[in-house]
Amino acid sequence: MSPLAKISSAFAPRFAEFVFEPAFTAAVDQHVAEIRERLRANHPGLVPRQPHREDLTDYALGFLDALDELDWREPVGHDYAVCRLTAISWLVERHSLLAENTENAD
């Protein structure tokens, strides 16, 4: 299973919390924006570009490695890592990055 598939499998269920946790929703939104900025998926238009699957995978692997070094364990609530991983999952879902024939639109 790919790193993006593992993250999505584990953190996409947290999307249901968006309805009841506006602070969590806002935090994840900020993480999505930061990830897009890091991956250079932002541009002057109103609709952000789709991140490249390979770039997001590389970013996710680096983030997961850092969490492993810290011996991070998922908490019951929402910490920085939960927000970041949920944001990665949201990008994967939003842009169908797990689809077999996904085209990276620019």
For 42-61, give the DSSP string.
--SSSSPPPPPHHHHHHHHH
| Contact between residue 58 and residue 70 where contact means Cβ atoms under 8 Å apart | no
* 102 in a structural domain: no
Q: pTM here? A: 0.87
- With 70 as the cut, is the pLDDT of residue 75 above it? yes
Give the angle 89-91-94 at the CA atoms, nearest 5°: 105
Question: What pLDDT score was predicted for residue 1?
Answer: 86
pLDDT tens by residue, 43-72: 666 667 788 999 999 999 999 999 999 999
State which residues form the domain around 47: 3-94
**Distance in Å from the first CA to the final CA of the chain:** 26
* 106 in a structural domain: no
Domain count, the chain: 1
